[in-house]
Structure 1
Amino acid sequence: MNTLTRLGRHAVASITTLVKLAALACALSLAGCGSPLVSDYALERPQLDLRDYFNGPVTAHGMYTDRNGRIVKRFIVKMACSWQGDDGTLDEAFTYSDGSTQRRVWHLKRLADGRYEGRADDVVGAAHGEAGGNTFNWRYTLALPVDGRTWDVQFDDWMVLIDERTLLNKAEMSKFGVRLGEVTLSFTKG
């Protein structure tokens, strides 16, 4: 075997090794891009107890931004909240910046291990959530009326208790895995 052939084989082996290392590095970096887990916040305080926070009057101020970050709508939500044991009702009255109104009544059920299930007339199936520390993650599909049609839009909703009165909420909206926009809310208890 001549020197040129050996150098060529060595170069191919080196390139193959580099490609494998680059693929491994790419796979490892993508593995770190997963969504956060509620358990990541288990030690955060103050502790969020939905039965405590959403009990009595709560007001929320919010906005919807499209996928480009443009503010599309602003709104205020007046909520009447109550619990009977592990069963809760959140009666939400929305008033939008364009003057339109909407009402949604959530029926919540506290399950074991910090988990919750919720239903509302415009929620497709059931919403499923989990609380841990000062955080609550809620995932559900909402039937949204858009230009005379109804779209089933997925929500990945994160709530974080800042103090006893203030709860911040960020919900990403998507359809077929494509990000449509985001809803941002600030809840105030009392």
Structure 2
Amino acid sequence: MNRRLWLGAAAGIAALALAGCAGPKPADYAAERPLLDLREYFNGDVVAHGIFTDRSGKVVRRFTVLMKCHWNGDDGVLDESFTYSDGETQRRVWRLKKWPDGRYTGTADDVIGEASGQAAGNAFNWRYTLALPVDGKVYHVQFDDWMYLVDERVMLNKAVMSKFGITLGEVTLAFSKR
């Protein structure tokens, strides 16, 4: 009897743990407006201001991103120039592809493999592995990146960075279309 009770309790705890891991999906935002079309929003000049927070929530880095974006049909280029508060600069050039079902794929020189994302309503979820240089070493970290269109000019972005499923920190950005 005790074994059966223990197994039942363990199954209940496992079910709760798995339910807690279930996060939002792009389809959850399908009815939200304004409708996010990455080809429309990321076309022309966009500026973003952001922070990186560690696991405790402490801001450890601030930055600005100037973006030059253009599309040729379903193929886009997002040329990002980062300037960090400590004076460091960085550049990332995304090459994106829009698919008919609302999916996007993308590559960049410091992205391992291919990024994949899904747009629905006013939201876009983007997942990828980034080669992140830290103190002379390069770490492959996973990003679960969410963007939410607020209006035709403003989009908010929250990305969770993790390794081996352990959250390392978060990136928060406010995009402004010029």
Q: CA deviation at 1:30?
A: 2.6
1:141 alignment partner AA: T
Match in the other structure for 2:85 = 97
**Cα distance per residue 1:105-147 (max 9 Å; x no partner):** 1000001211000011111111101101111000001111111
Alignment match of 1:49 (pick from 37, 49, 57): 37
Is 1:183 the counterpart of 2:176? The answer is: no
How far 1:29 sits from its partner (Å)? 2.2
**TM-score of the pair, normalised by structure 2:** 0.94
Q: Tell me which of 105, 110, 122 is aligned to 1:117.
A: 105
- Where does structure 1 differ by over 3 angstroms across 4 or more consecutive aligned residues? 15-25
Q: Which runs of 5+ in 1 are unaligned?
A: 1-12
Structure 1 residue 18 displacement after superposition:
4.9
Q: CA RMSD in A?
A: 1.4
Counterpart position of 1:25: 12
Q: Which TM-score applies when normalising by structure 1?
A: 0.88
Aligned runs of 1:15-164 on 2, under 5 Å? Answer: 18-19=5-6, 21-33=8-20, 34-164=22-152
Residue 16 of structure 1, CA deviation:
5.8
| Distance in 1, Cα, partners of 2:95 & 2:59 | 29
**What is the one-letter code of the residue matched to 2:16?**
S
Question: Which residue matches 1:174?
Answer: 162
- 1:179 positional shift: 1.0
Q: Which residue identity is paired with 1:30?
A: A
Q: State the aligned residue count.
A: 177
Give % identity: 63
